[in-house]
């Protein structure tokens, strides 16, 4: 990374920070904003821009600003794909019951309540969405190997198949899967407590 490139990018971040923050907030998808706040997005984007500053080529006035907007749009797309993939995986986890069953913090709902698949209505839809968000956040906190084992379990991949994919014995995979599921349940409960505490703090 050249010092001049980093300096130009840093200066542009300072000069256009407010506008860039607004752009990220406006263009972020609803799915993305369920997991990351506009401040989170801006901080992540700014860090990404500084890391990639060596790729920036100064082409005159306004080039740093235009480059930052391009980096910002790409960053939003990458983060959306990241969370969308985890959300799809969390849907399988919720349906398989691996999330521990305690997956909603909706107003009027008791942690542990799970809406029936046959139920409909705004509250049920909202509860299902919260289940997916909660499960996705729990999955995101797991180590990659644990997350993979959980997702395979949710899609009925057998121990023998897992062992073949990982180059391990079925017995070792069975123990690793049990640990991964236990970590998921504990992480799930931790995220739920944090979300509940946040909701209570907002209401007070």
Domain locations along the chain: 3-87, 97-203
Q: Give CA angle at 116 (105, 202), nearest 5°.
A: 10
User: pLDDT tens track of the chain, all 204 residues?
Assistant: 467 888 999 999 999 999 999 999 999 988 788 778 888 899 889 999 998 998 899 888 899 999 999 999 999 999 888 777 776 666 666 666 544 443 333 333 333 344 444 444 444 656 666 777 777 878 888 888 888 888 888 888 888 999 999 999 989 999 998 888 888 888 888 877 776 666 555 555
53, burial (CB in 10 Å: exposed 0-12, middle 13-18, buried 19+): buried
CATH topology of domain 3-87: Rna Polymerase Sigma Factor; Chain: A (1.10.1740)
pLDDT of residue 123: 45
Question: Tokens 């057998």 map to which residue?
Answer: 158
Q: How far apart are CA 92 and CA 77, in angstroms?
A: 23
- pTM comes to 0.53
pLDDT of residue 203: 55
Question: Residue 153 in contact with residue 96, Cβ under 8 Å?
Answer: yes
pLDDT of residue 35: 77
pLDDT of residue 157: 85
């Amino acid at each position: 990374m050249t010092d001049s490139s980093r300096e130009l990018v840093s200066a542009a971040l300072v000069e256009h920070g407010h506008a860039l923050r607004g752009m990220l907030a406006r263009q972020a998808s609803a799915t993305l904003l369920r997991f990351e706040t506009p401040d989170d997005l801006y901080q992540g984007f700014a860090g990404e821009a500084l890391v990639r500053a060596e790729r920036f080529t100064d082409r005159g006035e306004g080039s740093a600003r235009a480059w930052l907007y391009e980096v910002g749009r790409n960053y939003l797309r990458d983060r959306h794909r990241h969370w969308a993939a985890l959300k799809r995986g969390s849907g399988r986890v919720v349906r398989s019951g691996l999330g521990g069953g305690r997956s909603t913090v909706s107003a009027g709902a008791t942690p542990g309540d799970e809406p029936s698949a046959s139920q409909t209505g705004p509250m049920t839809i909202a509860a299902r969405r919260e289940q997916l968000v909660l499960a996705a956040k729990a999955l995101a906190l797991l180590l990659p190997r644990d997350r993979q084992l959980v997702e395979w379990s949710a899609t009925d991949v057998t121990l023998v198949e897992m062992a073949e994919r990982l180059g391990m014995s079925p017995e070792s995979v069975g123990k690793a899967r049990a640990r991964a599921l236990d970590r998921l349940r504990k992480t799930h409960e931790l995220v739920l407590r944090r979300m509940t505490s946040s909701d209570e703090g907002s209401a007070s």
